[in-house]
Amino acid sequence: MNAADLIRRKRDGAALDADAIDWLVRAYTDGDVPDYQMAAFLMAVVWRGMDSAETVALTLAMLRSGAELRVRDRVSPVADKHSTGGVGDKVTLAVAPLVVACGLPVAKMTGRGLGHTGGTVDKLESIAGLRMELAPGEFLRLLERHGLALSAQSRDLAPADGKMYALRDVTATIDSIPLIAASIMSKKLAVGPSHLLLDVKVGSGAFMKTAADAHRLAATMARIGADAGVHTVAALSAMDQPLGRAIGNALEVAEAVDILHGRGPADVTALCLHETAMLLHMAGIVATEQDGHARAKQAIQDGSGLAKLAEVVAAQGGDARQIEDTSRLPHAPHREVITAPQSGYIARMDAERIGMASVRLGAGRLKQGNPIDHAVGLMLLAKMGDRLDAGAPLIEVHARDAAQVASIHDDLLDAYTWSDAPPAPLPLLLGSVSGGG
Ligand code: URA
């Protein structure tokens, strides 16, 4: 087989068989197919798509590129949750310790920032000393000892996704249903939980801009999970505006800690409680989602969720004092408030544009391997539906210097649409698709 031929066939709209997909993924993982050929192939998939047999073949090829941990053979039940990516999405940082504090272990292999969206690994690496590159043996030891292990994409598990993810991040080849489904599900199946909750984002800050696409992605992933014997539910949630107020790595860790203290913003706290309740119910820890909700609230009130996060941070070499006192997290040297250019209600926010502004400050990567600036980001001082007078505080930018703020100022303001009347409130939770299993 040869890569140029497979690229050409996909470019021309042909469906590839499992052997061809397997060969390409293996050759890329081994370094025999270079980045430029894989980038061309990925772009052909973005344009031409893949049918469900190809998507399953791609997922399994990426899964087989490395080892399988099958954590459920060691600890059961054991859960995982994964978001398809959003702006200000720090839900995992709060949900994982909350779920564990409620009695359900969580084994989570997680990603770095992708495009305009942040990644849990980059966020957690704001914490001094925290090791996210865990070898499988250590991952399992932490899971058995603490009920929670959080790891970056390991070189041993789904290494094909590790390489393809980094390449997609900088080649505009992220927003494709088969590529997202295979990326997420190959990682999830490599870890092998018993229960998996997928948070499929839809809206201006998500890779899926329409409910129809989000449903297709949800159904594709739920089916792949169920076929592999993992009880999988894909829940759709709104990403019409950034979640919570903080965007940027250390800022989001601090906001996750606020959620665990019970003083987080209402929208992101509601989503955290909902996802915790869903996972507890899926795994049979509670009889109803309502009970799960109450358990999650209790783990916030009694501090056990926060204590679990601090415990795991310390166990992975991080400075837990930064969780106890978030003012110890990295701080940007320059803070500047951008004000409302006019009076009125915030009718719409282009969350992708806002996410990109944060990336341009250094919170994400514009090129493969770019370093992350953990301190920079944005604090949204107003959200959709809020009414502001002209000149009122709108966004606090955490930057290196004033020039950085100036470089994103106009673009940020362009992300807002104003109206004279209050906009209709949009629902945060948009239903779910179950894969059974
Ligand atoms: N999250 C992933 O892990 N992969 C994607 O492709 C998108 C979001």
Residue 187 catalytic?
yes
The answer to whether position 292 is within a domain reads yes
- Let me know if residue 58 belongs to a domain: no
Q: Residue 113 above 90 pLDDT?
A: no
343 occurs within a structural domain: yes
Q: Which two tokens stand for residue 48?
A: 């031409």
The catalytic residue among 90, 116, 123, 168 is 168
Q: In angstroms, what is the span from residue 127 Cα to ligand 1's centroid?
A: 23
Atom of ligand 1 nearest to the CA of 84: 8
Structure-block tokens of residue 251 = 């800022």
If asked whether residues 225 and 155 sit together in one domain, one would say: yes
Within 302-420, residue ranges assigned H as helices are 304-315, 321-324, 351-358, 402-414
Is the CB of 189 inside a 6 Å radius of any atom of ligand 1?
no
Q: What is the pLDDT of residue 436?
A: 56
Of 80, 89, 161, 199, catalytic: 161
The Cα 420–Cα 260 span in angstroms is 36
- Domain membership of residue 431 (yes or no) is no
Query: Any idea how long the chain is?
Result: 437
Alpha-carbon span 69 to 139, nearest angstrom: 10
Lookup: tokens for 295: 């358990």
| pLDDT (0 to 100) of residue 155 | 82
Q: Over 80: is that where the pLDDT of 368 sits?
A: no
Ligand 1 atom nearest the C-alpha of 85 is 8
The number of helices, as runs of H, and strands, as runs of E, in the chain is 17, 13
Q: In sequence order, which residues have a C-beta less than 8 Å from that of residue 406 and are 6 or more positions away?
A: none
Q: Is residue 435 very low, low, confident or very high in pLDDT (cuts 50, 70, 90)?
A: confident
Name the pTM for this structure. Answer: 0.95
89, part of any domain: yes
CA pair distance 18, 146, nearest whole angstrom? 39
Residue 288 sits in the same domain as residue 320? yes
Both 123 and 176 in one domain: the answer is: yes
Q: 270 and 390: one domain?
A: no
Angle between helices 249-261 and 304-315 (to 10 degrees): 140
Query: Is the domain of 152 the same as that of 24?
Result: no
pLDDT at 115: 84
Do residues 85 and 36 both lie within one domain? no
* Same-domain pairing of 30 and 133: no
In the block, residue with structure tokens 């906001």: 255
At residue 112, does pLDDT exceed 90? no
CATH classification at residue 229:
3.40.1030.10
- Catalytic residue flag (residue 168): yes
Which run of H or E residues covers position 346? strand 344-349
| C-alpha span between 33 and 25 (Å, rounded) | 9
242 CB under 6 A from ligand 1? no
From CA 109, how far away is CA 81, in angstroms rounded?
A: 9
> How far from the centroid of its chain's Cα atoms is residue 52's Cα?
23
- Regarding whether 245 and 208 lie in a shared domain, the answer is yes
- Is the CB–ligand 1 distance for residue 183 below 6 Å? yes
Answer yes or no: is 104 within a domain.
yes
Compute the distance from residue 85 Cα to the ligand 1 centre, in Å. Answer: 7
Same domain, 362 and 306: no
Q: How high is the pLDDT of residue 396? A: 98
As for how many domains the chain has, the answer is 3
Give the model confidence (pLDDT) of 222-279 as tens digits: 999 999 999 999 999 999 999 999 999 999 999 999 999 999 999 999 999 999 999 9
Ligand 1 lined by 111 (C-beta under 6 Å) = yes
Would 61 be classed as within a structural domain? no
Report CA(192)–ligand 1 centroid distance (Å): 17
Q: Specify the residue for token string 């390489």.
A: 163
Please tell me if the CB atom of residue 114 comes closer than 6 angstroms to any atom of ligand 1: yes
Looking at 284, 303, 325, the residue that finishes a domain is: 325
End-to-end CA distance of the chain: 35
Which residue in the block uniquely carries the two structure tokens 């932490």? 142
Q: How far is the CA of 110 from the centre of ligand 1 (A)?
A: 9
325, 347, 368: which is the final residue of a domain?
A: 325
**Residue 383, domain CATH:** 3.90.1170.30
At 202, give phi and psi (nearest 5°). -140, 135
Q: What integer is the mean pLDDT of 282-311?
A: 98
Q: Give the model confidence (pLDDT) of 315-325 as tens digits.
A: 999 999 999 99
Single out the residue of 191, 340, 329 nearest to residue 249, CA to CA: 329
Is the peptide bond prior to 77 cis by the omega test (within 30 degrees of 0)? yes
Q: Within this chain, do residues 19 and 129 fall inside the same structural domain, yes or no?
A: no
pLDDT tens readout for residues 281-292: 999 999 999 999
Task: State yes or no: pLDDT of 54 exceeds 90.
Answer: yes
Residues 136 and 257 in one domain: yes
Q: Looking at 325, 356, 376, which one is the last position of a domain?
A: 325
Q: Is 85 in the pocket of ligand 1 (CB under 6 A)?
A: yes
Q: Are residues 296 and 409 in the same domain?
A: no
| The two structure tokens encoding residue 140 | 């399992």
CA 223 to each of CA 56, 83, 191: distance values in angstroms, whole numbers, following the listed order = 9, 17, 17
220, two tokens: 């594709």
pLDDT at 437 over 50: no
* Nearest atom, ligand 1, residue 207 CA: 7
CATH code for position 21: 1.20.970.10
Give 125-151 pLDDT, tens digit per residue.
999 999 999 999 999 999 999 999 999
Burial class, 308, CB count within 10 angstroms (exposed 0-12 / middle 13-18 / buried 19+): buried
Range of the domain at 17: 3-49
Instruction: Render pLDDT for 79-96 as a digit per residue (tens, 0 to 9).
Output: 999 999 999 999 999 999
**370 or 183: whose pLDDT is higher?**
183
Residues 6+ apart with CB under 8 A from 19: none
What is the rounded average pLDDT of the residues 352-359? 97
Q: Is 211 helix (H, G, I), strand (E, B) or coil?
A: helix
Mean per-residue pLDDT of the chain: 96
In a domain, 60, yes or no: no
pLDDT (0 to 100) of residue 21: 98
Distance 84 CA to ligand 1 centre (A): 6
User: Which pLDDT does position 163 carry in this prediction?
Assistant: 94
Q: Is the CB of 84 under 6 A from ligand 1?
A: yes
Q: Are 259 and 101 in contact (CB under 8 A)?
A: no
pLDDT of the residue at 416: 98
Return the percentage of the chain with pLDDT > 70, whole number.
100
